[in-house]
């Protein structure tokens, strides 16, 4: 709705520019009509293309054509600047519970036959993007039963604020809670803070890295507790493979691969979480996601293995 309204404003502004441009007898009327028609669309790329054609076919009128296009570009730039200023003011004046967006994720399966398996995977991520600050809250639950016995029960909650200190660098903080009795701990808490760097910052591909000290407390299922100073290294990668991916004759989709990696390193037990996913958008709010996660503990408790993997197929709702 906002995009459509902005587009309408641009078209109306372009029409006003076209109407306000004074007539010049020197420029042939068909050429002027072509330029005015392009300006009326509000499409800057189309206006640029028509202007280049007009210059090429009417070299004697280049100065006049340039003046018309310069007037159009100046008014469009002023309109964009006004919109950007209004958006910034709206962000700065927003309340604590405003400007949040996020994604809810849910997947489930049921298998019968030689084995009876039931499983669910749910997740929620919410973000608040400010001028310099960003807040992200993440929660996830994975649960599975096989032949009447619970074989997976994992909980994760994370809060990460960060603040930009330049165009590329930011400072982050992190607080995280995990519970996974099958990996041998009833609770694991971690806090960290450090420096992040936006290595790639394009429309179609983004890569950010972060690192800093961490402090972790682990409560094992056998009653032992362990507290250690550690170090955190993180990576977050997103890539828009294409603008439109044809899934069926009637369904277009946006495909996106996203990967993240977080390693918490201490002298006794290093943990690594790797997640790679592929999203296919079904409509403006709903998408399907396939992801593959690897969780590694270098020194698990007795009876637990070092590496867990999990493949998920889920539906995601953007809000």
Query: How far, in Å, are 147, 157, 213, 309 from residue 234 at the CA level?
Result: 37, 17, 12, 19
Highest mean pLDDT: which of 115-124, 126-135, 166-175, 261-270? 166-175
Same domain membership, residue 306 and residue 193: yes
Q: 150 and 84 share a domain?
A: no
DSSP state of 206: E
Domain that holds residue 81: 2-93
pTM for this one? 0.69
Last residue of a domain, one of 73, 93, 113: 93
- Is pLDDT of 257 > 80? no
pLDDT of amino acid 267: 75
DSSP code at position 34 = H
Which band of pLDDT confidence, cut at 50, 70 and 90, is reported for residue 193? very high
| pLDDT level of residue 307 (50, 70, 90 thresholds) | confident
pLDDT tops 70 at residue 114:
no
Please, which contacts does 252-257 make with residues 24 or more away whose CB atoms are closer than 8 Å? 253/280, 253/281, 253/282, 253/287, 254/279, 254/280, 254/281, 254/287, 255/279, 255/280
Q: Measured between alpha carbons, how far is 134 from 180 in angstroms, rounded to an integer?
A: 29
Say whether both 60 and 166 belong to one domain. Answer: no
Q: In angstroms, rounded to a whole number, what is the distance separating the alpha carbons of residues 252 and 125?
A: 25
How many other C-beta atoms can be found within 10 angstroms of the C-beta atom of residue 273? 17
Please tell me which residue, 202 or 189, carries the higher pLDDT value.
189
Percent of the chain with pLDDT over 70: 83
- Tell me the average pLDDT across 182-207: 89
Residue holding tokens 């809250």? 137
> Does 117 lie in the same domain as 71?
no
Using left for φ > 0, alpha for ψ between -120 and 50, and beta otherwise, residue 283 falls in: beta
Residue from 1, 54, 61, 7 nearest 31 by CA? 54
Q: Is 286 in the same domain as 304?
A: yes
60 and 139, same structural domain?
no
Domain boundary pick from 35, 68, 93: 93
Least confident interval from 62-76, 96-110, 177-191, 225-239? 96-110
Encode burial over 182-207: b for 16+ CB neighbours within 10 A, e otherwise.
bbbbebbebebbbebebeeeeeeebb
Is 193 found in the same domain as 51?
no
User: Average model confidence (pLDDT) for the chain?
Assistant: 81
223 plus 139 within the same structural domain:
yes
Run of H or E including 2: helix 2-20
Q: Is the pLDDT of residue 275 over 90?
A: no
Reported as a single tens digit per residue, the pLDDT across 14-43 is 555 555 544 444 788 888 888 988 888 888
Closest by alpha carbon to 195, among 217, 215, 168? 168
CB 272 within 8 A of CB 261: yes
**What are φ and ψ of residue 258, in 5° steps?**
-135, 135
82 contacts: CB under 8 Å, gap ≥ 6: none
Together in a domain, 129 and 235:
yes
Cα gap 246→253, rounded to integer Å: 6
Please indicate, yes or no, whether residues 176 and 139 belong to a single structural domain of this protein. yes
b/e 102-127 (16+ beta carbons within 10 angstroms → b): ebebebeeeeeeeeeeebebebebee
Residues 128 and 265 in one domain: yes
Helix and strand element counts for the chain (H, E): 4, 12
Inter-residue contact 151 to 144 (CB < 8 Å): yes
What backbone phi and psi angles, to 5 degrees, belong to 177?
-125, 135
Q: Based on the structure, what is the number of domains in the chain?
A: 2
CATH number at residue 135: 2.40.160.40
Tell me, yes or no, whether 81 and 118 share the same domain. no
Identify the domain boundary among 40, 70, 93. Answer: 93
């Amino acid at each position: 709705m906002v995009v459509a309204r902005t587009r309408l404003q641009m078209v109306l502004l372009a029409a006003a520019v076209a109407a306000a441009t004074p007539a010049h007898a020197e420029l042939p009327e068909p050429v002027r009509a072509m330029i005015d028609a392009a300006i009326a669309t509000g499409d800057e790329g189309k206006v640029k293309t028509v202007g280049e054609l007009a210059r090429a076919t009417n070299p004697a009128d280049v100065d006049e054509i340039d003046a018309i296009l310069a007037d159009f570009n100046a008014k469009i730039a002023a309109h964009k600047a006004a919109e950007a200023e209004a958006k910034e003011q709206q962000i700065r004046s927003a309340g604590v519970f405003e400007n949040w967006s996020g994604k809810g994720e849910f997947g489930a399966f049921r298998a019968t036959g030689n084995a009876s398996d039931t499983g669910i995977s749910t997740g929620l991520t919410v973000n608040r993007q400010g001028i310099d600050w960003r807040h992200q809250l993440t929660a996830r639950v994975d649960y599975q039963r096989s032949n009447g016995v619970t074989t997976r029960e994992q909980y994760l909650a994370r809060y990460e604020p960060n603040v930009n200190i330049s165009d590329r660098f930011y400072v982050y903080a992190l607080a995280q809670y995990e519970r996974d009795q099958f990996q041998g701990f009833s609770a694991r808490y971690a806090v960290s803070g450090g420096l992040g760097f936006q290595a790639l910052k394009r429309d179609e591909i983004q890569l950010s890295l972060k690192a800093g000290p961490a402090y972790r407390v682990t409560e094992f299922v056998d009653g032992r507790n362990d507290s250690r100073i550690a170090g955190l290294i993180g990576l977050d990668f997103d890539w828009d493979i294409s603008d439109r991916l044809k899934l069926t004759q009637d369904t277009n989709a946006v495909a996106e691969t996203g990967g993240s990696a977080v390693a918490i390193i201490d002298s006794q037990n290093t943990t690594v979480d790797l997640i790679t996913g592929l999203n296919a958008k079904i409509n403006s709010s709903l998408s399907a996601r396939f992801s593959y996660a690897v969780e590694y503990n270098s020194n698990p408790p007795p009876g637990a293995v070092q590496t867990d993997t999990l493949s998920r197929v889920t539906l995601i709702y953007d809000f």
